[in-house]
Amino acid sequence: MRRLLICLLLGFLPLFAGVSAHASETTRPKVGLVLSGGAARGLAHIGVLKALEEQGIKIDAIAGTSMGAVVGGLYASGYKIDELEKLALTIDWQQALSDAPPRKDVPFRRKQDDRDFLVKQKLSFRDDGSLGLPLGVIQGQNLALLLESLLAHTSDTRDFDKLPIPFRAVTTDIANGEKVVFRKGHLPQVIRASMSIPAVFAPVELDGRLLVDGGMTDNIPLDVAREMGVDVAIVVDIGTPLRNRKQLVTVVDVLNQSITLMTRRNSEEQLATLHPDDVLIQPPLASFGSTDFGRGKEMIDAGYRATQALDVRLARLKPVQSQDAELNAARAPGQRTPIITAIKVENDSKVGDDVIRYYIRQHIGEPLDLGRLQTDMGTLYGLDYFEQVQYRVVHKGTDHTLVISARGKRTGTDYLRVGLSLSDDMRGDSAFNLGASYRMNGINRLGAEWLTRAQIGDKQELYSEFYQPLDVGSRYFVAPYASFAAQNVDSVLDNDPIAQYRVERYGFGLNVGRQIGNSGEVRFGVGEAWGKADVRIGDQDLPSENFNEGFYALKYSFDSLDNVYYPHEGEDIGLTLVQFEPSLGSDTRYRQWEFKLDKAMSSGPDTLILGGRYGRTLDDANVVTSSFLLGGARQLSGFREDAISGQNVSLMRAVYYRRLTPRSYLPLDFPLYAGASLERGRAWNNDNEFDSGYINAASVFIGFDTPLGPLNFSYGLNDADEQAVYLNLGQTF
């Protein structure tokens, strides 16, 4: 009998153990994670999550605000800790926190705007002529694309309770100041709204509300976690501390302090409701600023260490079982690259749906190519028709539809840009030019535009071109134009200037061409011009000349520079061939060609640019009207701008510069550069009455890449005993 009882007990022991384990699991408190906002300081949340996972803590719910919503949303959707850490340390935060796509993704025609004038910031105008001002310094285009790419696998999850970990994001309705908590919606859009710092990021329009950063009303959403039914809350407070009186020295400091005061007030209210069983984690982040994204590793480590220090208190929250199967399934890589079965366009802009569709290279029946899609969205945004271009994947059974959403610019699609350049040769001769361009964009469904450019100063110019694409992708185009230009050109005999002519030229023409990807363009055109050259300085008995020109022109342009003002990589190539023909009205028949090249190479903060230009006039032609011009900063430094003219020119140069300031992750980035150049050039005429011989030149310069455009101070000299000081706002090379 005794043996029978022992056997029965042994048989039931596993059952009792299972019941005991189940009871332990069911009685385990439901754990909620509360992640506060704090911009870059929010990267410390990743370190907290890393330590919690190592301790085996199972998170049952997450509530986040601002950067806390970003980290919390990614983790709740299935991202692993090592993935989050890699993202934090490899994302180009400066690019993500701006609107401009990488220049390599910008259409070629938009790249040329950087050269045509001059100051990079532009004013936009609506169709009624009113000035269009944005709702934020940053529209959030790149940030929205980044979130969409990271959360593409959640596009069909509208109920955040159905994520692997239930999630809530907190925002603020800027119209009435109310807190808005999202438990449903499009996750990337909701997260983007939660981190819309007022005036910095444009608000997000969602469900009839205008939403900004949740930190304005609830920076530590502990109450939100309670409403999700958690028993114990792990609260991570990474809020920015208040600055003392001595630290408040600029208007930016005062503005930041005002925001901090607002967020700290509601944070203290939430912290006062902590229960004895709750766990408060406050990583030591006093030395970190809200824009220190470049110190992500240090902040992650700070969050990790602060959590490890509380391992004793956290141990009681450790479950018997590990992470659930749903979370592990969500972490499978295949979940993030669905097979696309259809593509749909949502568009309220001036251009047609087929134009937008043309730029999307995703193939139906293939996995979602996030890298290529990111490039395509940058190209679309670079067209300057849209306030924002976004995408999402809609899942319905086995169907996965890629939806491209393009919202037309509310601030208008007509743009005004201005530029200024000054130079002085230290001998009383100065050059001054003030220019502006106005571009009417999106005139018809194919994206026609009308560009008008004007300049006054040493060079007068008026140029107007109507650019009409012939297909939806603007591959082929036709561009009629009219122009006027006037400037002074020196006449030289035996290497001595004998007169200065004032050359005025009027003209019109028609170009047809083809764009080559985002980096190149070929144009063929026919044109006619006429004008006169009057003696301005010198022997007044020298004849004035009237001239007529009729010509064919072939032009190839290639631009892969990552920055037109201070490039770090890429090439700028130009080749122009012109044939002047009497049959088109030209006084004489002659040919000209010009080749330009600049190649940028960088290593860290150091950049070297090698390049130059070569221009030739073939056959006999009028010297004054057929001359190329040299002179100015890095164009044979030491001479004033356009001081040397000749029917043939050559220039070789090497330009070196170094960035002296660290990168900023705010729109107001003022990088400082210092550099120098070495140049060698020559100008000569076909009649051998003028040949400058090879001239060696050098310059040193300091430059700022300001939000308005590059500001350069240069000093140049050459072995022709010329020297000059240059001040340039605008074009650098």
Residues labelled as active-site residues: 66, 213
Q: At which residue do the structure tokens 């032009």 appear? A: 555
HSE value, Cβ hemisphere, 13 Å, CA-based, for 724: 29
Distance between CA atoms of residues 381 and 375, nearest Å: 10
237: nearest Cα among 52, 39, 38: 38
Distance between CA atoms of residues 329 and 394, nearest Å: 20
54: nearest Cα among 78, 92, 81, 90: 81
Structure tokens given for 403: 């939806």
Query: What does DSSP assign to residue 191?
Result: H
b/e string for 364-403 if b means 16 or more Cβ within 10 A? eeeebebeebbbbbbbbbbbbbbbbbbbbbeeeeeebbbe
Q: If you count them, how many residues does the chain have?
A: 733
Distance between CA atoms of residues 233 and 215, nearest Å: 19
b/e string for 34-65 if b means 16 or more Cβ within 10 A? bbbbbbbbbbbbbbbbbbbbeeebbbbbbbbb
Q: At which residue do the structure tokens 């009186």 appear? A: 245
Distance between CA atoms of residues 706 and 484, nearest Å: 31
Q: What is the DSSP string of 408-447?
A: E-TT-SEEEEEEEEEEE-SSS-EEEEEEEEEEE---STT-
Distance between CA atoms of residues 225 and 183, nearest Å: 11
Distance between CA atoms of residues 333 and 80, nearest Å: 11
- Provide the CA 619 distance to its chain's centre, in angstroms: 47
Structure tokens given for 282: 């406050």
∠ Cα 137 142 147 (to 5°): 120
User: Three-class SS of residue 525?
Assistant: strand
Structure tokens given for 733: 């090379």
Distance between CA atoms of residues 336 and 329, nearest Å: 11
Please say whether the beta carbons of 417 and 436 come within 8 A: yes
Please say whether the beta carbons of 218 and 224 come within 8 A: yes
Q: At which residue do the structure tokens 């285009």 appear? A: 141
Structure tokens given for 127: 């169709």
Burial class (CB in 10 A: 0-12, 13-18, 19+), 615: buried
398: nearest Cα among 187, 156, 184: 156
Distance between CA atoms of residues 695 and 656, nearest Å: 20
Please say whether the beta carbons of 111 and 564 come within 8 A: yes
- Alpha-carbon torsion, ordered 209, 211, 217, 219, to 10 deg: 140
Distance between CA atoms of residues 611 and 486, nearest Å: 28
Structure tokens given for 106: 């910008």
